Structure 1
Amino acid sequence: MGAVIEVSELTKCYGSKRAVDHLSFTVRPGQVTGFLGPNGAGKSTTLRMILGLDAPTTGAATVSGVPFHRHPRGLRHVGALLEAGQVHGGRSAAAHLSALARSNGIPRRRVDEVLQEVGLTEVADRRIGGFSLGMKQRLGIATALLGDPPVLMFDEPINGMDPEGVRWVRRLFRRLAAEGRTVFLSSHLMSEMENTADQLVVIGRGRLIAAESVRDFAARGTRSSVMVGTPRAAELAAVLTAAGASVEPEGSAGAEKLAVTGIPADRIGALAFENGIRLNELTTRTASLEVAFMELTADSTEYQAGQPR
């Protein structure tokens, strides 16, 4: 099967609450797959079940065709970063990695290699308790890379990273995927998914919403709109609405701009010309990942501003 993550009808219940609900998807090698969902959607629970840290109520999750716990010396098969803070603060970075290397039959030289890879060589002998969150994230990534595994999983890996760190992480994930590894990445930052991911798995309330390319998800989730500027906005809005368009004022009051969906820009221009209405702007705006995500997960958001669901 190769380095494939396969989730099949995965379900996890905590009492009467169903955190993950008959979830099925596949994560394949050679690409970065983003894992998206509103807070409380079940992302972290799913990752923990893939790694065997939580037992599913029903269903199954496999890595390279078998449950993760059946892989001997797991760090050689799957590297994961779930919570960067879950390390012994009294140990040094080098000691932490060395202990993991010994327990997984990994050569000691890999400790030095991954410390250099993540930029922590100079602080290798410092206690982890004095690390910033960004440094702990780098150490967590080093831990995931330690066994040179074919499958890598990261939960919110850029929290606490500075801009340089974010760029470094982005390049690293793209390189790992280009090497043929399976890279599964959870993040709440749409900009990072747009810049890093090839494919998306999107869930809400524990259920699958979409499993497709970033481009297809953005295009499916929202229609393109046309920005129209005119000194006769109210009049043009009436004309466009009569022609079947949806029209919303854009910007502050008096800005004389309209966001139009439902008809293309050339049709808007023709209608304006036919009615003698001058246009200052006519710009098509393509669909964005963020807008698509907000639209398609709106019914799956556990809490909306000022209104619990």
Structure 2
Amino acid sequence: MIEVNQLTKRYGEVTAVNGLTFTVRPGYVTGFLGPNGAGKSTTMRMILGLNRPTSGSATIDGRPFARHRAGLRHAGALLDASDVHGGRSAAAHLSALARSNGLPRCRVGEVLRDVGLESVARRRVAGFSLGMRQRLGIAAALLGDAPVLLFDEPVNGLDPEGVRWVRGLFRRLAGEGRTVLVSSHLMSEMEHTADRLIVIGRGELIAAESLTEFAARGTGASVTVRTPDPAELAAVLAHAGAHVRQDEGAGLTVTGLSAARIGELAYERRILLYELAPRAASLEQAFMELTAESADYRATSPAGDRR
């Protein structure tokens, strides 16, 4: 388990993280989201003892990470896939980590097989693609078979097969009862991967809840309705204050009224319904709405629009 309590980090007059409190529990994939500059990487570095907080605390299984001997046995992490000596081979890099953490040498071969790098174990890392470096970073995180795992932008540079593999890996690790924290700016990835979300903006907590609960906060929620009388139902719903868009065939997309209320109105007018399905707002839409005031960098016009 990861516990963060009133965590604060200041760099001079700049506050990168401000009074952050949350818990990451075992058995779930927890997504860690926020706009650029929100303080995600700084927070992860403080959890791992790489940055010292100005105040507050961050613990792994009840203790600061620095107090855990042989740290890779307690927490594994991928923070920066490029932070590897290019002159070393993949096997040499992992072997050095294994020795310094008192891990058996056999773990090197095991994790290289797990991430699909066994055939290039003796190649120098300098010749690796970004995707291969990501896989090597994941291998390093898995080396100690730790109960707590942190990954910062783990799918950068991975091809579609690699992305699907990472999704399955995180699900498997959480299913084994491990604590899995994944930072990403890809909303589509979090929709496919995360069970719970921690969302921050300008170093402060915005949300700590399930993926479904967070998406439901967005205003883009709608109801899909199919009926043999779309025009009649559309008029009834519009009169009740809904916004109605007619789709192909007998379909309507309705906003402004709940599925229950739409069903009641249809029943009162004896209008047959084939389908009545609420649709939550997308994670991306909810994220954009709820972090709009926390984004430090925002484009004012489409790229390339120079008139």
Q: TM-score, normalising length from structure 2?
A: 0.85
* Paired position in structure 2 for 1:51: 48
Quickly say closer, same or farther: Cα 1:126–1:258, change in 2 above 3 A.
Answer: same
Equivalent position of 1:294 in the other structure: 288
Measure how far apart 1:197 and its partner are.
1.1
Instruction: Report the 3-state secondary structure (helix = DSSP H, G, I; strand = E; otherwise coil) of the residue aligned with 1:139.
Output: helix
Deviation at 1:94, TM superposition (A): 0.4
Distance apart, 1:44 and its partner CA: 0.4
1:145 paired with 2:145, answer no
1:196 matches 2:193: yes
**Structure 1 unaligned runs (5+)?**
252-256, 276-280
Q: 1:86 aligns with which of 80, 83, 86?
A: 83
Cα distance change of structure 1 residues 41 and 258 upon mapping to structure 2, 3 Å threshold: farther
Equivalent residue pairs, number: 299
Call closer, same or farther: CA 1:9–1:129 in 2, change over 3 Å: same
Residue 58 of structure 2 corresponds to: 61
1:105 and 2:102 correspond: yes
Asked whether the equivalents of residues 76 and 148 of structure 2 are also in contact (C-alpha less than 8 Å), the reply is: yes
1:46, 1:174 → 2: CA distance? 23
- Compute the displacement of 1:108 (Å): 0.6
Superposed CA RMSD: 3.1
Q: Which residue of 2 aligns with 1:158?
A: 155
Query: CA–CA distance in 1 between the matches of 2:143 and 2:260?
Result: 56
In structure 2, distance between residues paired with 1:146 and 1:87? 15
Which residue is equivalent to 2:72? 75
Query: Aligned equivalents of 2:113 and 2:224: distance in 1?
Result: 49
Q: Residue type matched to 1:211 in 2? A: A
Which shifted more, 110-119 or 264-273? 264-273
Equivalent-residue separation in structure 2 for 1:285 and 1:269 (angstroms): 15
- The structure 2 residue matched to 1:123, chosen from 120, 124, 139, is 120
1:221 aligned counterpart, secondary structure:
coil
| Structure 1 residues 209 and 104, CA gap change in structure 2 (3 angstroms) | same
Deviates more, 1:288-297 or 1:58-67: 288-297
1:254 paired residue number:
none
* Kept in 1: contact 2:237–2:244 (CA 8 A): no
Identity %: 71
What SS does the aligned partner of 1:41 have?
coil
**In structure 2, do the counterparts of structure 1 residues 274 and 20 end up closer, same or farther at CA, with 3 Å as the change threshold?**
same
Distance 1:17 1:98 in 2: 39
Equivalent residue of 2:84, what SS?
Answer: coil
- Report deviation, 1:124: 0.3
Separation of aligned partners in 2, 1:76 and 1:268: 55
Deviations 1:29-49 (A, max 9, x none): 111111011111110010011
1:130, CA displacement in angstroms?
0.4
Q: Does 1:169 align with 2:166?
A: yes
- 1:17 paired with 2:17, answer no
Judging changes above 3 Å, is the alpha-carbon distance between structure 1 residues 111 and 282 closer, same or farther for their aligned structure 2 residues? Answer: closer
